[in-house]
Every structure is written in C-alpha cells, then in structure tokens.
Amino acid sequence: MTGYIIKRLIAMAVTLWFIITLTFFLMHSIPGSPFNEERNTSEAVQRNLEKFYHLDEPLYVQYGMYLKSVVTFDFGPSIKKSSQTVNEMLGRGFPVSFELGIVTLIVAVFSGIALGIIAALRHNGFIDYLAMTIAVLGISVPNFVLATLLIQQLAVNLAILPVATWSSPKHMILPTLALATGPMAIIARLTRSSMLEVLTQDYIKTAKAKGLSPVKIVFKHALRNALLPVVTVLGSLAASILTGTFVIEKIFAIPGMGKYFVESINTRDYPVIMGTTVFYSSILIIMLFLVDIAYGILDPRIKLHKKEAS
Amino acid sequence: MELRKQHDNRNLAPDIPDDWFVPMAKDQDAAEAVVRPSLSYWQDAWRRLLKNKLAMAGLFFLIALAFMSIFGPMISPHSVSEQSLTNQNLPPSSKYWFGTDELGRDVFARTWYGARISLFVGIVAAMIDFAIGVIYGGIAGYKGGRTDNAMMRVVEILYGLPYLLVVILISVVMGPGLFTIIFALSVTGWVGMARIVRGQVLQIKNYEFVLASKTFGTKTSRIIKKNLLPNTMGPIIVQMTLTVPSAIFAEAFLSFLGLGIQPPFASWGSMANDGLSTILSGHWWRLFFPAFFISLTMFSFNVLGDGLQDALDPKLRR
C-alpha cells in the first residue's frame, strides 16, 4: 500500500509538472506582450512594466522563476487588475467555489444514489422508467441551459427564489440544482445498474432466506457492494462539477474562482489564467488520488501494492 | 438411449400403461437441428439493436438531424447571416419559423447551420480520437512489456489532465475558431480510446487464433489489422458514440464562454450564449431552439451508445 501511494505521488507530481510546463509555454507562445494595447504607453514605461513582470528575461529564466513561484504557492500579481495578486483572488474566490462544489457534490451523490436504489428495487416498473428518464434528461441537458430555465421559471416567473449572487442559503438553491443534476443522473444510472447486478447474487438470497428486513438487505448487504463503481467515478465527477462551476458562476454572478477564471480568459490576464489553471489542476489531481486510495480501502479484493493487473 | 432406459425401467412407473411407450419417429428428433439461422456477430448485434426501441429512436433522430443539417439551411427562405434590422427579435411565425434574433437573423436557418458545426465538431473529433487511439493503443497492447509501459506512462499523465481546462487553455492561445476546437478536443481526447484499445488487444493477442496466425508467419501489421482490430470493434464503437456527444458538449461549453465559434457563424453553443442574455426579456425562442437540439442530440447519442453497448456485448447474447 505504501509503495503504491509513493508511486502515485510521484505520478501526481509528474502530471502537475507537465501541466505547469504546458501552461507556461502555451501562455508564452502567444505573440506580443500583454501590454500591447491601444492605450499608448511610452517606451520607458513599457520597459519598466516588462521588467516588473520579468518579461525581459530569457524564457528559461522566466520558466525557472515560475516553477519556483508555483512550489511556494505564490502566483504573482495580476496584470490587468493591478493592486491585486492572483493569490488574493484565489483566496477570495476559492471558499465560495468550494462551498458550491461541496454542496453540489453532496446533493448529487445522495439524490443520485437514492434515485438509483429506488429504480433498481422497482426494476422495469413505472418508477424505474421515471427515474431513468430523469437520469437521461439530466445527462442530455447542458447545465447552462438548465440554469437559464431554472432562473426563468423559478426566479422570474414565479419569483420564489433569488435570481443571482451568493449571500444566503436561499441563493444557493438554484445554482446547486443546476450544477448537481448532471452528476446526479450519472450516479443514479450507475447505482441502478450495479444494484441490479448485486441483487441477483447468492448472498442476497441468503439474506432474504434468513428473514432479514428488506431495508437491512438493501442498506447493509446490497448497497455496500453496489456503491463501488460509484466511488470510481467520483473523481471525474468532481472534475465535471469543477468545470461546471465556471459556467454556473458566470450565469448566477457568483463571486467564485470560476468567475475570475472566465474573466481572466476574456481579458487575457495571463498570470491569473496560469495561477487558476495550476490551482484547479492540483485540486483535481489530488481528488483523483484520494478516490483511488478510497477505492482500495473500500474494496478488499483490490490489492494496491500488487502490480496492476491489466 | 433415453428411450431404451425408460423402456427397461417401465415397471418403476406402474401408473403409466405400457402402450404409452412408443418409439419416437426418426425425423421427429428436432433436438439436434439448428434452431435459429446462423448469424454473424454484426448481424446478431444489429438484430438486438433493432429490438431496443429507445436506441432506434435515437438513431432515427440522429439521421433526421444529419439530414436537416444538410438541407435545413436550404429549406429556409432566409440565409444564415442575412440581417433584417426591421425584424428584430420576432417570435416564431409563418415567416420566421423559429423567430429571429437581435439582428433580425432567422433562427431556423441558424439552428440548422449550428447543427452542421456541432455535428461536424463531434464527428471529426471522434474520428481523430479513433485514428490516434487505435494506433497508439494497438501498438502498446500488442508490443507489451517495456514499450507498453513507456507508452502507458504518457497516457497516464495525459489522463490526469483536466480535460476542459486544457481545451480552454489551447483555445485561449490559438484564438477561437472551428479548427482550434477540434484540435483542442483531440489533444487529450484520444487517451480514453487508447486505453480501451490497449486493454482489448492485451486480452485478445493471447488467443489461439492469433497464435495460429503467427505460426503462419503473418506480419505484425496484418495481425493487428485483420485479427485484433475487428475483435475490438465493439467497445471502440461504443466509445465513439460517447465521444461525439462529449465533443458537442465541449463545443457548446466553449462557445458559451466566448471561446467557440465566432459570429457571423453560429453553433448551438454560441446561439445559446446569445439567447441567454435575452431570456429575461421574454425572447425564449432564442435560447429554446439551440438548447432543445443540443439536448436532443446528446440524448440520442447517449441512448444509442447504451443500446450499442448492450447489443455488442456477447455476454448479453440470448
């Protein structure tokens, strides 16, 4: 197990280094400097600006400095919003995005599993079809469309929920709903199919024969095994929720990290783009790592220290 | 055999009169006859797919959609970029079937034009993924050992990359456009396909028929082409039907962030983005039509993919 974890940690570091390098060289392959604007700056000012942001150094020096700054978690100042550093932006945006992400993940996991269980227990019945229709719709409808529909119906037409911003629990309902539906649908489908498989196993029959209550059979015996596939997708689901926050934060005017990211793309604020990308990527990579470890702990049949069977 | 045995033991079943035991006529013995016509793998898969109503509905929608994306802009009396400033934001009517946008452009024509772009992006991205993924995964799986190890390290790194972030980064650097989107989607997209092909090839290359082929001195390229790939086609096709909607979704997502198709051209994503800002003024048709068709396409590909997965899985054969 320890050996596996060390191996994974090294792989994570390599992936992260790859992302940092990719981001850095992509950003620097763009012709012109970020200060070439319509706004006329004298040559001296231009040179001073470039000196301040170390843009006059050779590329490998800049690369080295960037690597160092990433390791020390200091992403430097924003180019477009002077007086602000990328760290400040991340510090302000991350708690909000984190809150949105976590609430969404919890809602998606619990409602998805519940929907999946109900559908599996009523296999081929009306409720099963209803649940799976909801699930397929949830996968098919892009979250920005869902968000707009929710705003229009619930916030504008019926006026029961606030339209935008992020100040009270009531404000959280619509964004969470819009963001959670897709992942919920994926979880529901997975839970249903693995639940159906598990319910035909012999040990479930044994449990039934022992006269256990259906509730106990489902929650104590079936669900434990049925949930393993769900754990495997949690990592990629977290990724989709994370990228989903860009759009949702834009639509609902939520002051999270996604908003800064989208803004920085539109204004080509390179330090912010690089900083947020590296930050997002590290979160994602850590998530994937944690999911793998959790999977190994949950499923005793998988032995992480052994060489991966193909 | 069975008959003789019963005959000998007839006194064990005294309730049954002796004259009930008659020899069976020869041609009545149907047990050994072939019950169903022999079907090839693909015929059988197709037969099972035909039974799946939802998947067939998806296939039908997709064919209709492809048809409309070719002929839709021709049917419409208005062109894609034709502006008519006196006809701004008109609701759907007999003149403008899907209404107009803020420049008086016909939403009907733009919707089908957007279908072209979206389907094009999805299908081309899936084909590139297919080409790279099959070659890469095929070589890694077939060679095995060191080569496989080294090749899969690369895949592992790419697999850990957050897909949409990379796509966004590349779009920022290369500037928005159709080519950029397809390029950005292919950079990381082939990895999933490569993993699937490798896994399949690793398994199949140890089967006897491949060994037989090898003993005849068949060239490696021919073994991969003729023996291995046809047997991995099932999972590959399923993966492709799932790649197309995710590419379409990514295009819509990028266009929604303003990194996608630029005006005057339209894609569903960019139309939805434009429509979003006007939804509060009641111009519902501007968001509804592109959003509806994105959803319908995603839905169709998803159910078709599910159907194919069931149909192409030999374990589910009845």
**A27: chain B residues, CB-CB within 8 Å:** 173
Cα B307 to Cα B60: distance, rounded to the nearest angstrom: 13
Instruction: Tell whether the torsion through CA atoms of A167, A169, A171 and A175 is positive or negative.
Output: positive
Among the ranges given (A3-17, A148-162, B18-32, B237-251), the one the predictor scored with the smallest mean pLDDT: B18-32
pLDDT attached to residue A308: 45
**B256: chain A residues, CB-CB within 8 Å:** 144, 247
Q: Chain B 185-224, CB below 8 Å of chain A: which residues? A: 199, 202-203
Alpha-carbon distance A259 to nearest alpha carbon in chain B (angstroms): 11
Where helices occur in chain A by DSSP H, the ranges are 2-28, 43-52, 59-71, 86-121, 126-140, 143-150, 169-199, 202-209, 214-216, 223-226, 228-251, 257-267, 270-298
CATH code linked to domain A95-268: 1.10.3720.10
**B149: chain A residues, CB-CB within 8 Å:** none
Q: Give CA separation, B65 vs A103, B61, B239, B297, in Å.
A: 37, 6, 21, 8
Q: Hey, what are A279's tokens?
A: 């930050």
Does the pLDDT of residue A40 top 70, yes or no? Answer: no
**Is A101:A284 a contact under the CB 8 Å cutoff?**
no
Q: Hey, what are A291's tokens?
A: 């999911």
Mean pLDDT across the stretch A106-134?
87
pLDDT attached to residue B74: 72
For chain B, domains (ranges, CATH) are 52-87+95-313 (1.10.3720.10)
* Nearest chain A residue (CA) to B158: A15
**A157: chain B residues, CB-CB within 8 Å:** none
Residue B95: pLDDT band by 50, 70, 90 thresholds? low
Residue contact A140–B253, C-beta within 8 A: no
- Which residues are paired to B100 by β-bridges? B106
Residue contact A12–B160, C-beta within 8 A: yes
Alpha-carbon distance A222 to nearest alpha carbon in chain B (angstroms): 23
Q: Which residue has the higher pLDDT, B252 or B215?
A: B215
B225: CB partners within 8 A, 6+ apart: none
Does the pLDDT of residue B48 top 50, yes or no? Answer: yes
Residues of A with CB under 8 A from a CB of B: 11-12, 14-15, 18-19, 22-23, 26-27, 29-30, 136-137, 139-142, 144-145, 148, 151-152, 156, 239, 242-243, 246-247, 250-251, 262, 265-266, 268, 273, 277, 280-281, 284-285, 288, 310
Residue contact B162–A281, C-beta within 8 A: yes
Q: Considering chain B, what is the average pLDDT of its residues?
A: 77
Residue contact B169–A273, C-beta within 8 A: yes
- Helices A228-251/B163-174 angle, 10° precision: 40
* Nearest chain B residue (CA) to A129: B54
Put simply, whether the predicted model's pTM sits higher than 0.90 gets the answer no
pLDDT attached to residue B132: 92
Closest to A140 (Cβ–Cβ): which among B157, B164, B302? B302
Per-residue pLDDT tens digits for B147-204: 888 888 888 777 767 777 778 888 777 877 788 888 888 888 888 888 888 888 888 8
Chain A interface disruption, residue of B65, B157, B185, B279, most A CBs within 10 A: B157
**Is A86:A272 a contact under the CB 8 Å cutoff?**
yes
B291 touches chain A (CB under 8 A): yes
Cα B83 to Cα B102: distance, rounded to the nearest angstrom: 9
Residue A110: pLDDT band by 50, 70, 90 thresholds? very high
Contacts 24+ apart (CB under 8 A), A289-298: A289/A8, A289/A9, A289/A12, A290/A235, A291/A231, A291/A232, A291/A234, A291/A235, A291/A238, A292/A8, A292/A235, A293/A5, A293/A8, A294/A231, A295/A228, A295/A231, A295/A232, A296/A1, A296/A4, A298/A227, A298/A228, A298/A231
Tell me the percentage of chain B whose pLDDT exceeds 70: 77
- Indicate the SS3 state at residue B100: strand
Cα A256 to Cα A92: distance, rounded to the nearest angstrom: 7
Residue with tokens 């899985």: B313
Cα A179 to Cα A238: distance, rounded to the nearest angstrom: 11
Cα B47 to Cα B77: distance, rounded to the nearest angstrom: 41
**A139: chain B residues, CB-CB within 8 Å:** 298-299, 302
Among the ranges given (A116-130, B138-152, B304-318), the one the predictor scored with the smallest mean pLDDT: B304-318
Q: What is the DSSP string of A132-187?
A: HHHHHHHHHS-HHHHHHHHIIIIIIIS--S--S--SSHHHHHHHHHHHHHHHHHHH
Alpha-carbon distance A28 to nearest alpha carbon in chain B (angstroms): 9
Q: How crowded is the C-beta side of A23, counted as CA atoms within 13 Å?
A: 27
**B291: chain A residues, CB-CB within 8 Å:** 141-142, 145, 148
A137: CB partners within 8 A, 6+ apart: A185, B295, B299
Q: Hey, what are A131's tokens?
A: 């649940």
pLDDT attached to residue A142: 81
Cα B107 to Cα B270: distance, rounded to the nearest angstrom: 12
Cα B188 to Cα B191: distance, rounded to the nearest angstrom: 6
Closest to A141 (Cβ–Cβ): which among B279, B287, B295? B295
Interface ipTM: 0.70
Per-residue pLDDT tens digits for B63-81: 988 888 888 777 776 666 6
* Nearest chain A residue (CA) to B152: A310
